[in-house]
């Protein structure tokens, strides 16, 4: 499985690593012990020799963890060198499945060596060392309409390069669980199962057109929770480490009746979960005891309707996000104690707000239109409006001359896009 970035190719920079990269190439062996062609039972072994990013803990992609996509800042392995290969062993039955998996990664980490120049001085050098991640999970269909999934993982993340804890291990561990109630709608697949789109035992679904059954109402409701523990340096105690918790909760509902489809999604993530791949808001350190944080709250609703004779599917959607924040009190000379808030929309996307200001809701709305020109060719156009009054920049204070002042930017963002999609 390869991905081509056409814009990077057109740039003619000569950097093929940005234009051509692996997207989860794998070899899968399957030993069938029973079942049907549509749902076989048996033991499978999957080998991902280049990158096992798709093997993650969790189910709704927004709150999965344990990935290794360093090119989009989604790697559980900090300072990752190269990619992270892995393998997975799974047993599938008509009522349940269970699996165990691992992945490896080379991480640049400090290592103490004896200086050969004499005096037996200890010198710290950074070297690439192999680290491991272990995953496991299972799922069980209690009835044809009720499903439970659970998974967990442990990931080594190198060693601390902070003076008072240098050389001690960094790691993340945790689990995820999901309950699904559904009728006439399949259970949403986890990220790694999407790898099997070319499995000869299952039909290829890549870019497949939606299949509508107007006489049947389909629906699905799922609830998921993820809890992590991250072994970090204790910010408040010198020379000590601390296991800091991170958590996320999500709920999703999907309804399809006739040619109408509706979906509702709600997500809550605390700040530590948002920045879980750094790891920590302050890299490799726990949050200060005096700091205050707010969790991220997100809700979205979307709907579309298919007109079969016209081959058109218009859609509309909207969402509201209260971003996570990090707050601290700062003693400003002559002004007393003032609160300072940093808005964290996602890992690496942060805004420092002016003194005394708090986070504000981010609202977005989107309209789209899909036109299925044929069985292999589709066109999609969409427009999106985002209102985000948390973005700031630093300007010169007009009253002070050379002094700097942080102010809000224009909160409105408007975007348009059009795409053609072909499936062969």
pLDDT tens digits along 26-84: 999 999 999 888 788 999 999 999 889 989 999 998 899 999 876 666 789 998 888 89
Backbone torsions φ then ψ of 208, nearest 5 degrees: -65, 145
The residue-averaged pLDDT of 141-169 equals 94
Q: Across the strands, what pairs with 414?
A: 385
**Residue 73 phi, psi (nearest 5):** 55, 40
> Which pLDDT score is estimated for 191?
73
Tens digit of each residue's pLDDT (9 = 90 or more) over 106-119: 998 887 666 665 56
Q: What is the pLDDT of residue 89?
A: 97
CA-CA distance, 347 to 345, in Å (whole number)?
Answer: 7
What per-residue confidence (pLDDT) applies to 14?
79
pLDDT digit string (tens) for 361-413?
999 999 999 999 988 899 999 999 999 999 998 887 777 666 678 889 999 99
pLDDT given for residue 109 in this prediction: 87
Res 134: pLDDT? 98
Instruction: Please list the residues that pair with 305 across neighbouring strands.
Output: 260
Of 69-78, 240-249, 306-315, give the lowest mean pLDDT range.
69-78
Tell me the pairing of strands 96-114 and 296-305: unpaired
pLDDT at site 73: 66
Could you tell me which residues are beta bridge partners of residue 413? Answer: 386
Is residue 313 predicted with pLDDT exceeding 60?
A: yes
Q: What is the pLDDT of residue 398?
A: 72
In this model, does residue 332 exceed pLDDT 90?
A: no
Over pLDDT 70: what percentage of the chain? 89
Could you give the CA distance from residue 83 to residue 49 in angstroms, rounded to a whole number? 9
Could you tell me whether strands 96-114 and 349-352 are parallel, antiparallel, or unpaired per DSSP bridges? unpaired
Q: What is the pLDDT of residues 171-202, one digit of tens each?
A: 999 999 999 999 999 888 777 777 666 665 55
Residue 314 has which token pair?
Answer: 């218009």
Q: Where are the beta strands (DSSP E) in 96-216?
A: 96-114, 122-143, 146-159, 169-183
C-beta separation of 267 from 288 below 8 A? no
How crowded is the C-beta side of 78, counted as CA atoms within 13 Å? 21
pLDDT at residue number 202: 58
Instruction: Record the tokens describing residue 164, joined without a space.
Output: 């008072």
What per-residue confidence (pLDDT) applies to 32?
A: 94
Report, as an integer, the average pLDDT of 2-6.
83
Long-range residue pairs from 137-141, CB within 8 A, at least 24 positions apart, any chain? 137/57, 137/98, 137/99, 138/96, 138/97, 138/98, 138/99, 139/96, 139/97, 140/95, 140/96, 141/95, 141/96
Domain boundaries, the chain: 1-247, 290-424
- Residue 199 has a pLDDT of 63
């Amino acid at each position: 499985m390869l991905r081509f970035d056409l814009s990077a190719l057109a740039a003619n920079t000569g950097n093929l690593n940005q234009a051509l990269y692996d997207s989860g190439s794998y070899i899968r062996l399957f030993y069938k012990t029973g079942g049907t062609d549509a749902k076989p039972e048996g033991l499978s072994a999957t080998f991902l020799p280049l990158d096992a990013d798709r093997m993650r803990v969790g189910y709704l992609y927004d709150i999965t963890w344990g990935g290794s996509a360093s090119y989009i800042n989604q790697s559980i392995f900090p300072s990752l060198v190269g990619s992270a290969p892995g393998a997975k062993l799974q047993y599938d039955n008509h009522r349940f499945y269970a699996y165990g998996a691992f992945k490896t990664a080379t991480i640049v980490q400090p290592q103490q060596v004896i200086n050969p120049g004499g005096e037996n001085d200890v010198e710290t050098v950074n070297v690439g060392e192999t680290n491991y991640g272990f995953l496991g999970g299972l799922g069980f269909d209690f009835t044809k309409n009720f499903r439970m999934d659970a998974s967990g993982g442990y990931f080594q993340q190198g060693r601390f390069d902070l003076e008072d804890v240098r050389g001690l291990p960094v790691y993340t561990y945790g689990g995820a669980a999901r309950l699904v109630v559904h009728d006439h709608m399949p259970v949403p697949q986890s990220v790694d199962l999407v790898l099997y789109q070319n499995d000869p035992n299952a039909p290829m679904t890549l870019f497949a057109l939606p299949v509508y059954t107007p006489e049947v109402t389909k629906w699905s409701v799922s609830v998921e929770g993820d809890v992590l523990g991250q072994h970090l340096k204790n910010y408040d105690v010198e020379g000590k480490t601390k296991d800091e918790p991170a958590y996320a909760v999500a709920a999703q509902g999907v309804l399809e009746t006739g040619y109408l489809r509706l979906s509702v999604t709600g997500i809550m993530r605390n700040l530590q979960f948002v920045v879980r791949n750094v790891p920590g808001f302050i890299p490799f350190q726990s949050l200060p005891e005096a700091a205050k944080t707010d969790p991220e709250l997100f809700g979205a609703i979307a709907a579309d309707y298919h007109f079969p004779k016209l081959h058109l599917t218009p859609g509309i959607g909207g969402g509201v996000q209260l971003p996570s924040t990090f707050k601290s009190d700062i003693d400003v000379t002559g002004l007393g104690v003032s609160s300072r808030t940093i808005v964290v929309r996602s890992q690496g996307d942060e805004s420092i707000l002016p003194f005394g200001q708090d986070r504000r809701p981010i609202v977005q709305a989107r309209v789209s239109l899909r036109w299925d020109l044929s069985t292999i060719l589709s066109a999609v156009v969409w427009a999106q409006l985002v209102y985000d009054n948390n973005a700031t920049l630093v300007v010169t204070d007009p009253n002070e001359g050379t002094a700097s002042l942080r102010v809000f930017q224009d909160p409105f963002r408007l975007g348009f896009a059009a795409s053609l999609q072909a499936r062969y």
